[in-house]
């Protein structure tokens, strides 16, 4: 699988410059006390990884990869591992930058706030990955974009209609109750989400014909 991961990471190396520029912008804005855009960086890393599907598709890499040893399984697995590696690496750098900004601005490092914020971002990023990847494997990257748009749009519309009628106080109470365990619960949910998403993508790809 290592070879497949290297291939996916090699495909995004031209985007490292873009990420570097975003990190500089984030740092400068942080020093100036402007809006916190740290959430953009991990999200960008997933979006960059999603762009690799287009290149794969253009050169029919998926079909070619099946001709390689264990290609059908490793192709999907590597895409998930490469995305998670990339997202975690970018998040780690962002956390370090945030520590630096916090220290320069306040002479202290607000560990708790920075880590909580980055943890939320990471969870959201993994959510995008878990929803997007099976849809991309099923429909192809072009149709998947439309599919995602329709899902998000549909959820907003349904949510907009239902929200006034829902009593959400029990969720808020539950959150209070679970506060001590929230991070642990979210980590478990994230692991289960990614695992299920991978299994679904793998199943779709295993049955796919080219």
Partner 1 sequence: MENILEIKDLCKTYDNFELKKVSFNLPKGMIMGFIGENGAGKTTTIKAILNIIQSYRGEIKIFGLDNRKDEKKIKEDIGVVLDDMFFPEILTPNDINSTLKGVYQNWDTKMFYDYLKEFSLLPNKQIKTFSKGMRKKLEIITALSHHPKLLILDEPTSGLDPVARAEVMEIFQNFIEKDDCSILLSSHITTDLEHMADYITFINHGEVILSKTTNELLEQYGIVKCGEEEFQKIDKKDYLKYRKSKYEYEVLVENKKDFKAKYDIAVIDKITLDDLMVLMIKGEE
Whether the Cβ atoms of residue 210 and residue 66 lie closer than 8 Å to each other: yes
Query: Among residues 72 and 145, whose Cβ is nearest to partner 1?
Result: 72
- Nearest-approach distance from CB 177 to partner 1, in angstroms: 47
Residues near partner 1 (CB under 8 A) are 1-7, 10-11, 14, 52, 55-56, 58-61, 63-64, 66-72, 74, 207, 209-210
Kindly tell me which of 68 and 185 has the beta carbon lying closer to partner 1: 68
Is 198:77 a contact under the CB 8 Å cutoff?
Answer: yes
To partner 1, the closest distance from the beta carbon of 19 in angstroms equals 16
CB of 81 to partner 1, least distance (A): 12
Q: How far apart are CA 28 and CA 105, in angstroms?
A: 12
Token output for 150: 């329709």
Residue matched to tokens 């520590």:
99
For partner 1, the closer CB: 55 or 149: 55
**Pick 64 or 111: Cβ nearer partner 1:** 64
- Separation CA 38–CA 90 (nearest Å): 10
Closest listed residue to residue 209, CA positions, set 93, 108, 62, 57? 62
Q: Which is nearer to partner 1, 10 or 183 (CB)?
A: 10
- Is residue 39 within 8 Å of residue 110, measured between CB atoms? no
Beta strands in the chain (DSSP E): none
Contact assessment for residue 186 and residue 122, using Cβ atoms and an 8 Å cutoff: no
Least distance CB 12 / partner 1 (angstroms): 9
Question: To the nearest whole angstrom, how small is the minimum distance from the Cβ of residue 23 to partner 1?
Answer: 22
């Amino acid at each position: 699988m290592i070879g497949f991961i290297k291939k996916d990471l090699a495909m995004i190396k031209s985007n490292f410059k873009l990420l570097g520029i975003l990190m500089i912008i984030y740092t400068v804005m942080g020093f100036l006390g402007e809006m916190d855009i740290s959430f953009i960086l991990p999200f960008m890393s997933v979006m960059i990884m999603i762009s690799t599907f287009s290149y794969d598709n253009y050169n029919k890499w998926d079909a070619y990869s099946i001709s390689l040893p264990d290609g059908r399984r490793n192709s999907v697995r590597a895409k998930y591992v490469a995305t998670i590696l990339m997202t975690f690496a970018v998040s780690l750098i962002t956390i370090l930058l945030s520590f630096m900004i916090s220290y320069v601005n306040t002479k202290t490092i607000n560990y708790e706030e920075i880590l909580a914020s980055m943890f939320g971002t990471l969870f959201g990023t993994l959510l995008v990955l878990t929803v997007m990847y099976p849809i991309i494997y099923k429909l192809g990257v072009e149709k998947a974009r439309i599919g995602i748009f329709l899902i998000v749009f549909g959820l907003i519309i349904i949510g907009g209609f239902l929200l006034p009628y829902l009593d959400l106080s029990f969720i808020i109470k539950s959150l209070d109750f679970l506060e001590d365990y929230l991070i642990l619960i979210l980590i478990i949910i994230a692991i289960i989400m990614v695992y299920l998403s991978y299994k679904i993508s793998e199943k779709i790809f295993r049955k796919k014909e080219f």
